[in-house]
Amino acid sequence: MKNISLLSLAVSLAFTSGAALAKISPEQAAKLNKELTVFGAERGANADGSIPAWDGGIKSAPAGFKPGDHHPDPYPGDKVLYAVTSKNLGQYKDLLTPGQIKLFETYPDSYKMNVYQTRRSASYPEHVYKATLDNATRAELVQEGNGIKQASVGIPFPIPANGLEAIWNHILRYRGEAITRQGGQAAPTASGDYTYMGFDDRLLVPYGVKDASPEQLEQTNILFKFKQKVTEPARLAGTALLVHETMDQIKTPRQAWTYNTGQRRVRRAPNVAYDAPGTASDGLRTTDDFDMFNGAPDRYTWTLKGKKELLIPYNDYRLHSDQIKYDDVLKAGHINPDLVRYEKHRVWVVEADLKANTRHTYKKRVFFIDEDSWQIAVTDIYDNRDELYRVGVAHGINYYEVPTQWSTLEVFHDLQSRRYIAMGLDNEANMYDFSAEMKEKSFTPAALRREGRR
């Protein structure tokens, strides 16, 4: 693989997911907040300066912004530096994943990438940085990587020793403590027609609570609780899902329940995991595609391949804007490329290979993870014939009021059906609330039943 930093290549050669899951040394940790950022990213610029040095990311919101607003673009004066198209694709292949290249080949007349100046905008609260420094020398994986201990609030492994640690950084990246969000998804047909499905999501994150301790988290064994209710179309409104995600997923696997409005009953849903089809996804994504990857990593062997420079969606405030409609975003074949901002960033490359004697629709997945935020930016997905099957893309922004870097839209392209699903559409919805007050008792099967009957 080209473009891999020498430091990360050495790490990938020294460790694989089968290696001992050891803590880093104090000497390694001393690099954090010096030549590395607290999150383990390379602080300095790249060789030609096209990726700048990290200066702390966005430190304040643009003038006039208030919580509850859609987030305005902090870089309104930035212009397109160049556009990658099917005609000039050869010049930029070293900056693209195989899946991204396949999208140009699949849609040669309409797919493109508008590339802008790189802005390393990711930023987080000071207490998250402090927690990450604390985690760096104490966090450990347990049960062959299917659980975690001695970590809270921040990134557990800012200097990852293997692919498992890197994917846990994505799973546990900070997004706040209690979040509500409205919005939805659509899966356009090949001609571009779609039915919008609306959701009301609630996320309670004990792991992210400011004063959470590793001991408390290990006692409760809960990373987060997630509740999702369908709000439209009318025939599905009220259908709901509840998930309790655990820290040690071997000790206690993920617990899930569904509420069906037709039956007016809550049922256990043990199949809400792995490659079970995603909610109302037309079979275009799996359950563990949500948030680019979620859930137990036990069906794969994880390998840290190193780092490379890649063109990824970043600072996609235009795609997030409430000044556009869903019709402006959703087009035949792919979302509107004129609304998407690409930048060159360094990414960690993590390969997940399906273990022998286990089952999953995906034989191999390659994740490209932003070094500044640990948000998976792109994932290339292969089927059992070793052919590219799907390409997932996360369009991220900085949510100023937290602050946190998180996707505003996730798109999974199915290369075989030439369709895609777009999740997180929020242009015509109320904005996320990161200061929501929610109680544990609202995330129980009984609460799910009560709410469904209202």
Question: How confident is the prediction along the chain (454 residues), in pLDDT tens digits per residue?
Answer: 545 443 444 344 333 333 334 578 888 999 999 999 999 999 999 999 999 999 999 999 999 999 999 999 999 999 999 999 999 999 999 999 999 999 999 999 999 999 999 999 999 999 999 999 999 999 999 878 888 999 999 999 999 999 999 999 999 999 999 999 999 999 999 999 999 999 999 999 999 999 999 999 999 999 999 999 999 999 889 999 999 999 887 788 899 999 988 888 999 998 899 999 998 899 999 999 999 999 999 999 999 999 999 999 999 999 999 999 999 999 999 999 999 999 999 999 999 999 999 999 999 999 999 999 999 999 999 999 999 999 999 999 999 999 999 999 999 999 999 999 999 999 999 999 999 999 999 999 999 988 766 5
Would you state the structure tokens that stand for residue 321, as one six-digit string? 């804007």
58 vs 405: CA distance, rounded Å: 10
| pLDDT score, position 259 | 94
* Sign for the pseudo-dihedral over CA of 21, 26, 28, 31: positive
Q: How far apart are CA 393 and CA 347, in angstroms?
A: 14
Number of CB atoms found within 10 A of residue 9's CB: 15
CB-based contact 156:412 (threshold 8 Å): no
Q: Which of 386, 452, 393 shows the shortest CA–CA distance to 420?
A: 393
Residue 3 is predicted with a pLDDT of: 53
Do 419 and 187 meet the contact criterion of CB atoms below 8 Å apart? Answer: yes
β partners of residue 162: none
Q: Is 410 helix (H, G, I), strand (E, B) or coil?
A: strand
pLDDT at 454: 53
d(CA 295, CA 345): 26
Gap between the Cα atoms of 149 and 142, Å rounded: 7
| Dihedral sign, Cα of residue 413, residue 414, residue 419, residue 422 | negative
3-state secondary structure of 107: coil
71 within 8 A of 320, measured Cβ to Cβ: yes
> If we measure between CA atoms, which residue out of 107, 275, 279, 297 comes closest to residue 200?
279
CA distance 314 to 116: 9
* pLDDT for residue 22: 52
pLDDT at 453: 61
Q: Is 232 in a helix, a strand, or coil?
A: strand
**Burial profile 338-348: b = 16 or more Cβ within 10 angstroms, e = fewer:** ebbbbbbbbbb
Residues 302 and 114: their CA atoms lie apart, in Å, by 32
Q: Is 336 exposed, middle or buried (0-12, 13-18, 19+ CB in 10 A)?
A: middle
The per-residue pLDDT for 74 is 97
DSSP labels, 143-157: GGGTEEES--SS-S-
Rounded Cα gap, residues 229 and 237, in angstroms: 8
Q: Would you give the DSSP letter of residue 25?
A: P
